Structure 1
């Protein structure tokens, strides 16, 4: 990474439905809290993004969100062109070469994605083992996000998108937390 003068980026994707993750909560004795959830429809959010680190620079979180309203013919997740656009945006924002580490998701290893990667001379890709979420700091970002959404029941997908956007924006300005997600993997032991 030092020889390439590159950013080390760990990428992953996640999703969120209108039904919130469950968590424990406090209430007065004898008054069980009731959370009304509207789960009609097939609306959902798809999220993707890398956690990027380079010695001597502030750690970065770059993300993209897709809102799926459940309409006929609508894309249901990130595809190769969407990942390529995300990587191009990361390259512009970071201003340097990227060493990308991500899992072996179907859309990461197919021929279309390989062709898109080969066109980008500034990009080097490494794959994580088949199932190793503990090695990817981006998994920590999504887990932290979902914990912060626990028991939140927005009425619309737009309300959920606004809440997710706000929480991810806050997370972008928490380098200590992002460094913690990287340290938790045990892959990098030197401070940034």
Structure 2
């Protein structure tokens, strides 16, 4: 099974004394994410928002696992547009600035995560390695849990503008970042092989 490849990266990380970082991107729109909610009987909740506003904030984040596996961290960057290879490189450089020693980043197989800019950053930073999850396997990436939690907290909110949206996103992600229980939950709820949890 392809998951064995992920377990092999864990062994490499342990041998190298490397941080493992599970990374992914997500986008947040001004259009409300409407989910089922509670309300007094006969009082249907109404969301008012500006129709046609397609403002977006994109976020890339990574859950880091320290070489000793005792510390978890969450690193993220926000962008006012879509995330491309250059933005991924900015994120990788920031990871290297904050994490000492070897760093192994696991990403999905998106074209955003491959190409000349990524190859250049790998050439310049020998302590950085990028590995890829098997194709079509988002359930293996613990960082998907970060986005599920963040979007759950923002459900049914109606920010008036992109500044309010930014504030809501920051509050949501910081609540996850500051909770080792939530970060451990993201790892536990992924379908990673047991040895990685």
**Normalising to structure 2: TM-score of the pair?**
0.87
**Quick check: 2:104–2:128 contact (8 Å CA) kept in 1?**
yes
Shift of 1:159: 0.1
One of 129, 137, 143 as aligned partner of 2:134: 129
Once the two structures are superposed, the pairs formed by residues 159-174 of structure 1 within 5 Å of their partners are 159-174=164-179
- RMSD of equivalent CA atoms: 1.7
One of 36, 53, 59 as aligned partner of 2:48: 36
Give the Cα separation in 2 of the matches to 1:104 and 1:151. Answer: 31
**Map of 1:59 onto structure 2:** 72
Q: Residue 187 of structure 2 aligns to a residue in which SS?
A: helix
Pair 1:7 & 2:12 matched = no
**Quick check: 1:80–1:112 contact (8 Å CA) kept in 2?**
yes
Q: Residue 42 of structure 2 aligns to a residue in which SS?
A: coil
Q: 1:53 to 1:14 in 2, by over 3 A?
A: same
Shift of 1:96: 2.3
Once the two structures are superposed, the pairs formed by residues 1-150 of structure 1 within 5 Å of their partners are 1-54=13-66, 55-67=68-80, 76-150=81-155
Q: Residue 181 of structure 1 aligns to a residue in which SS?
A: helix
Give the Cα separation in 1 of the matches to 2:180 and 2:28. Answer: 24
When the two structures are aligned, how many residues end up with a matched partner?
184
Shift of 1:56: 4.6
**Map of 1:70 onto structure 2:** none
Give the Cα separation in 2 of the matches to 1:144 and 1:157. Answer: 20
Q: Any unmatched runs of 5+ in structure 2?
A: 1-12
Shift of 1:188: 5.2
Q: Residue 63 of structure 1 aligns to a residue in which SS?
A: strand
**Normalising to structure 1: TM-score of the pair?**
0.89
Q: Which moved more, 1:6-15 or 1:18-27?
A: 18-27
**Quick check: 2:31–2:53 contact (8 Å CA) kept in 1?**
no
Q: Any unmatched runs of 5+ in structure 1?
A: 68-75
